[in-house]
Structure 1
Amino acid sequence: MASNTPMYSIPERFRRIENLHIVFWLLKDMSWALLWKPIGMFMIVPTLTVAVLITYQTRKIKSELFHNLAVLFWIIANCSWMVLEFYETPDHYRYYTAIPFGIGMFFIAWFYLVELRKN
């Protein structure tokens, strides 16, 4: 049965990078959970680098761009929170991670409330 629904596909090379990103993110979070400070700190760089690359690669597809910007800021908040816990900073510093989380929420809200309504 044929469908008139438009189909979205992602190039295979982009999909491989996204899958690698999941591996990096899981390694970073597992290191955080197990208190493996050196590995967790090291994994910040590849995790953020690949998130920036994915965001850049999808910049021409608005829905992907806005969602990937939200993910990028989620990871920034997540990495910040991990560093704060690793270095046993006072608990109230954790609330500053709400700033990048909020920026990520802003991108999602903007997409659904403004960009999606344009089409």
Structure 2
Amino acid sequence: MENLHIVFWLLKDISWCMIWKPLGIAMIFPTLIISLVIAWRTRQFMSELCHNVAISLWISANSYWMISEFFHFDAQVIVGPITFKHLALIPFVSGLLILAFYYLYYLPRNKESEEIIN
């Protein structure tokens, strides 16, 4: 499943690069769904869960950014220097915060249990 996920992800990003709107938009769904399934299946391991949720958020941000460029609202100003493209920072930063939680809070407090699992 993880390997198929990468194929969909690459097809989505290649479509973005080549401005193939229908294929790019269509590839969002299998890419995101599989990343969520992978996160769900690894939920018993905090390391895997945090990383896979961060990947799902990355795909969400990346997909939103792609759509904003496809439909030419990426450069529209919301307020001041902030454009609609900048809204992709919400899921990007959310993923980063999840990883920060894992590495800065969870891992130091659960190092022994993580070593046993790995």
Query: 1:37-80 deviations in whole A, cap 9, x for unaligned?
Result: 00001001100100100000100011000001110100000000
The Cα of 1:118 is off from its aligned counterpart by: 1.1
| Unpaired stretches in structure 2, ≥5 consecutive residues | 76-82, 111-118
- Match in the other structure for 2:21: 37
- Match in the other structure for 1:88: 72
Alignment of 1:1-119 (within 5 A): 17-91=1-75, 92-119=83-110
Q: CA RMSD in A?
A: 0.6
Give the TM-score normalised by structure 1. Answer: 0.85
**90 and 64 in structure 1: CA distance in 2 versus 1, 3 angstrom threshold:** closer
Give the TM-score normalised by structure 2. Answer: 0.86
| Unpaired stretches in structure 1, ≥5 consecutive residues | 1-16
Take 2:34 and 2:61, find their aligned partners in 1: how far apart are those partners? Answer: 16
Query: 1:64-110 deviations in whole A, cap 9, x for unaligned?
Result: 00001110100000000000000001411000000000100011000
Conserved in 1, the CA contact under 8 Å of 2:65 and 2:74?
A: no
Take 1:94 and 1:22, find their aligned partners in 2: how far apart are those partners? Answer: 24
